[in-house]
């Protein structure tokens, strides 16, 4: 009997140590990797690299990255949220819904280079767009769409069933219940999904290779929206930070600039990831300690 307890305790200790090692490994991996990229970026940095000329700096690329992701969110958030609402509230269990779910799962695990080729084929060849910010943004939305859809669906399904019942019991329609009660209640969780989607979009390169082009010169005072150097023109080619890194590495022109660009991208992605985490923690705390949520209002 004593022997059995002793050996069980030993196994317990060994398991604990293994888990701690694995956890430490993740910690080291992230910090080592992020630290390496950021420190090399700082070491290579020159003030001129943070300008907006389009020559040997990253300002325009940073703008392009944010603008492109913003446009892609404009496309994928409404579609994804509606798709999520449909799956959570309207889809009847059956073969069609099963198939639809399978499609969304497949879409979420699609290699981004394939999405890039798809974007090239559809937006450039079939629809006849040029390599442009819009074509890139649309390709990115294909990647982020399943993320938004599943977050929305999970968020709605995670709400207490009393919200829907209560609203229907008042004589509200299903849509009124969704719009006035369920959506506001799960908006913070959907926001978390949107931030994660933005994080994915920032780092994406493969899907943009064939679609976004590599324009980096912008004329900030331009008033002609059709001009290829007008920053707000979505039909112009646009080089993002990730594409810039790729270009610089492939052409071997300016290693220092690539380092800085990588560091900035890294910080951007980390910042969004931390923001998403903080937001979801805030929501969890609010849901758990409902009183504190009440006091704040």
Partner 1 sequence: MSEKVKFEIRNVNLHYGDFHALKNVNMDIMENEITAFIGPSGCGKSTFLKTLNRMQDFEESARVDGTIKMDGTDIYKDMDGIALRHTVGMVFQQPNPFPKSVYDNVAYGPRIFGIKKKAQLDQIVERSLRQAAIWDELKDRLNKSALGLSGGQQQRLCIARALAVNPDVLLMDEPTSALDPISTSKIEDLAVELKKDYTIIMVTHNMQQAARISDRTAFFLLGEMVEYGPTAQLFANPSDPRTERYITGRFG
CA atoms within 13 A on the CB side of 269: 18
Residue 279: C-alpha distances to residues 134, 154, 158, 189 (Å) = 29, 16, 17, 8
Among 163, 200, 235, 273, binds partner 1 (CB under 8 A): 163
For partner 1, the closer of residues 192 and 261 by Cβ is 192
Q: Which stretch binds partner 1 (CB under 8 A): 55-63, 191-199, 236-244, 285-293?
A: 285-293
Distance CA 134, CA 67 (A): 10
Of these, 173, 249, 253, 284, which contacts partner 1 (CB under 8 A)? 173
166 lies in the binding site for partner 1 (CB under 8 A): yes
Q: Which of these, 42, 35, 63, lies nearest to 256 by C-alpha position?
A: 42
Distance CA 164, CA 185 (A): 11
- Nearer to partner 1 by Cβ, of 47 and 93: the residue is 93
Residues 137, 122: Cα–Cα separation, whole Å: 13
CA atoms of 212 and 200, how far apart (whole Å) = 16
221 binds partner 1 (CB under 8 A): no
User: What tokens were used for 46?
Assistant: 């020159």
Contact residue for partner 1 among 16, 48, 106, 176 (CB under 8 A) = 176
Q: Which of 180, 249, 271, 274 binds partner 1 (CB under 8 A)?
A: 180
Among 261, 127, 144, which Cα is nearest to 197's? 144
Q: Which stretch binds partner 1 (CB under 8 A): 54-62, 110-118, 127-135, 165-173?
A: 165-173
Interface stretch with partner 1, choices 41-49, 97-105, 156-164, 206-214 (CB under 8 A): 156-164
Q: Does 47 bind partner 1 (CB under 8 A)?
A: no
For 229, the 3-state DSSP assignment is: coil
List contacts with partner 1 (CB under 8 A): 92, 160, 162-163, 165-174, 176, 180-181, 184-185, 290-291, 293-297
């Amino acid at each position: 009997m004593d022997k059995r307890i002793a050996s069980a305790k030993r196994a317990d200790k060994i398991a604990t140590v293994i888990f701690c090692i694995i956890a430490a490994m993740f910690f080291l991996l992230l910090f080592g990797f992020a630290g390496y990229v950021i420190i090399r970026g700082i070491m290579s940095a020159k003030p001129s690299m943070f300008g907006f000329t389009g020559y040997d700096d990253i300002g325009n690329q940073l703008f392009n990255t944010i603008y492109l992701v913003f446009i892609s969110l404009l496309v994928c958030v409404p579609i994804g949220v509606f798709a999520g609402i449909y799956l959570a509230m309207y889809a009847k269990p059956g073969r069609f819904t099963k198939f639809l779910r399978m499609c969304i799962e497949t879409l979420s695990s699609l290699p981004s280079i394939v999405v890039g080729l798809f974007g090239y084929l559809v937006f450039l060849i079939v629809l006849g767009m040029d390599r442009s910010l819009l074509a890139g943004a649309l390709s990115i939305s294909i990647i982020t769409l399943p993320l938004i859809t599943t977050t929305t669906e999970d968020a709605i399904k995670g709400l207490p069933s009393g919200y829907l019942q209560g609203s229907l019991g008042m004589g509200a329609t299903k849509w009124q219940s969704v719009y006035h009660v369920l959506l506001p209640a799960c908006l913070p969780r959907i926001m978390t999904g949107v931030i994660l989607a933005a994080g994915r979009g920032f780092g994406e390169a493969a899907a943009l290779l064939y679609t976004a082009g590599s324009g980096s010169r912008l004329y900030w005072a331009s008033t002609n929206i059709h001009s290829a150097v007008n920053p707000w023109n979505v039909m112009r080619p646009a080089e993002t930070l990730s594409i810039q890194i790729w270009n610089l590495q492939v052409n071997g022109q300016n290693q220092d600039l690539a380092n800085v660009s990588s560091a900035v991208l890294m910080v951007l992605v980390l910042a969004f990831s931390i923001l998403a985490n903080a937001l979801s923690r805030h929501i969890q705390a609010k849901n758990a300690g409902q009183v504190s949520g009440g006091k704040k209002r």
